[in-house]
Amino acid sequence: MQNGKSNGMEKKTSALGRFSIGATRWIGSTPSLITHTILFVGAFVLVYIGIDFDRVLLALTTVVSLEAIYLAIFIQMTINRTTAQLHDVEETVEEISEDIEEIHENVEDIQEDVEEITTGEEVEEITENAKLEKIEQSLLTIVKEIDELKRGTTTSKS
């Protein structure tokens, strides 16, 4: 059952979060400014319609106070979201930095390998090994020929 409650809470939080994001965006927009201006002017027009000035001020003050409280909450929620996003970005930057360091080390290793090849150390080793193998093959061929000659000499003496 806890899983069901947990999932329900996540959906409510998510919907509430989406609402707060939308409200914060709207409050900081031009339509919000126009709406608030019309409502404030409308509140004072109520006085000319015949509603007591003190009642209009009481209602207006109450609404403005509640709105200020909610604005403060929305601002704090925005700060919290931004802080969490910055934390995520910071972790990503650290991971990228580590990857870059690793790539840098790999590039240095490759550069060292290239330098060894261009200085000829490995090339000299390869050519020396090839020369030794060629000499070895030549010696084996000579030894075979000597054996054949010995056999031929032995056969002709008999």
Domain boundaries, the chain: 2-119, 120-158
Model confidence over 137-153: pLDDT tens digits? 878 888 888 887 777 76
pLDDT for position 2: 41
Claim: this prediction has a pTM higher than 0.85: no
- Give pLDDT, residue 60: 92
Q: What is the tens place of the pLDDT at every residue in 106-119?
A: 888 787 777 776 66
How confident is the model over 85-89, as a mean pLDDT? 92
Which range scores top for mean pLDDT: 64-68, 103-107, 119-123? 64-68
Split at pLDDT 50, 70, 90, the class of 61 is very high
Residue 90 and residue 71: Cα distance in Å, rounded?
28
Q: State the pLDDT at residue 147.
A: 80
For the CA atoms of 140, 145, 149, 155, the dihedral, rounded to the nearest 10 degrees, stands at 90
> Which residues are CB-neighbours of 27 under 8 A, at least 6 positions away?
71, 74
Q: Which helix (H) or strand (E) holds 145?
A: helix 121-157
pLDDT value at position 66? 93
Task: Give the pLDDT confidence score for residue 150 in this predicted structure.
Answer: 78
Q: CA 35, CA 32: separation in Å to the nearest integer?
A: 5
- Report which of residues 150 and 3 the model is more confident about: 150
DSSP the chain: -HHHHHHHHHHHHHHHHHHHHHHHHHHTSHHHHHHHHHHHHHHHHHHHHT--HHHHHHHHHHHHHHHHHHHHHHHHHHHHHHHHHHHHHHHHHHHHHHHHHHHHHHHHHHHHHHHHHHHTHHHHHHHHHHHHHHHHHHHHHHHHHHHHHHHHHHHHH-
- The rounded mean pLDDT for the chain is 80
